Amino acid sequence: MAEVKGELQTQEFELNMGPQHPSTHGVYRARLTLDGEKVVKVENIIGYLHRGIEKLAEDRTYTQFIPYTDRLDYLSGMLNNLGYVQTVEKALGIEVPERAEYLRVIMAELSRMASHMVAIASFVLDVSGWTAWFPPFRERERILDLFEMTCGSRMTVSYMRIGGVAADIPPEFLPALKSLLDDLPQFIEQMHALISGNEIFIGRCKGVGKLDIETALAYGVTGPNLRASGLPFDLRKAQPYGCYDRFEFDIPVLTNGDSYDRYLIRLLEIEQSARIIRQAMESLPDGEIMAKVPRVIKLPPGDYYHQIEASKGILGFYLVSDGGTKPYRLHIHSPSFVNLGAIPKLTEGSLIQDFVVTFASIDIVLGDVDR
Looking at beta carbons only, is 4 or 296 nearer to other proteins?
Answer: 296
The residue (of 166 and 338) whose beta carbon lies closer to other proteins is 166
Q: Which of 26, 33, 48, 63 binds other proteins (CB under 8 A)?
A: 63
Residue 175's identity, in one-letter code, is: P
Contact, 256 vs 210, CB < 8 A? yes
Q: How far apart are CA 244 and CA 311, in angstroms?
A: 15
Regarding 127 and contact with other proteins (CB under 8 A), the answer is: yes
Q: Does residue 50 belong to the site contacting other proteins (CB under 8 A)?
A: no
Which residues are bridge partners to 45 per DSSP?
29
Amino acid at 332: I
Given candidates 90, 138, 210, 275, which one binds other proteins under the rule CB under 8 A?
A: 138
Of the pair 125, 366, the CB lying nearest other proteins is at: 125
198 binds other proteins (CB under 8 A): yes
Which is nearer to other proteins, 7 or 130 (by Cβ)? Answer: 130
Instruction: Provide DSSP, 150-216.
Output: HHS-SSS---EETTEESSPPPTTHHHHHHHHHHHHHHHHHHHIIIIIT-HHHHHHHTTSS---HHHH
Nearer to other proteins, 37 or 182 (CB): 37
**At its nearest, how many Å lie between other proteins and the CB of residue 2?**
21
Q: Is 194 in the site for other proteins (CB under 8 A)?
A: yes
Q: Which residues contact 301 (CB under 8 A, 6 or more apart)?
A: 321, 322, 323
By CB under 8 A, tell whether 120 contacts other proteins. Answer: no
Q: Does 149 bind other proteins (CB under 8 A)?
A: yes
Told to check if 60 binds other proteins by CB under 8 A, we report yes
For other proteins, give the closer residue by CB, 96 or 357.
Answer: 357
Among positions 23, 80, 87, 321, the unique one binding other proteins when judged by CB under 8 A: 23
Strands (DSSP E) found in the chain: 13-17, 29-35, 38-45, 160-161, 164-165, 302-310, 313-321, 329-333
Q: Which is nearer to other proteins, 77 or 242 (CB)?
A: 77
CB contact set of 203 (below 8 Å; sequence gap of 6+)? none
* Residue 158 sits in the site that holds other proteins (CB under 8 A): yes
- x/- string (CB under 8 A) for other proteins, residues 272-311? ----------------------------------------
Max distance between CA atoms of the chain, in angstroms, equals 88
How far is 150 from 219, CA to CA, in rounded Å? 38
Residue 236 Cα distances to 35, 225, 309, 350, angstroms = 44, 16, 6, 35
45 in contact with other proteins (CB under 8 A):
no
Q: Check: CB of residue 278 under 8 Å from CB of residue 39.
A: no
For residue 220, how far is the Cα from the chain centroid?
15
Residue of the chain from 152, 294, 300, 324 that contacts other proteins (CB under 8 A): 152
Q: Which of 204, 266, 278, 312 binds other proteins (CB under 8 A)?
A: 204
21 binds other proteins, rule: CB under 8 A: yes
Question: Which residues share a beta bridge with 333?
Answer: 316
Nearer to other proteins, 65 or 244 (CB): 65
User: What does the alpha-carbon distance between residue 250 and residue 272 come to, in Å, rounded to a whole number?
Assistant: 7
| 37 binds other proteins, rule: CB under 8 A | yes
Site residues, other proteins (CB under 8 A): 13, 15, 21-23, 34, 36-37, 60, 63-68, 70, 124-134, 138, 148-153, 156, 158, 166-167, 170, 190, 193-204, 351-356
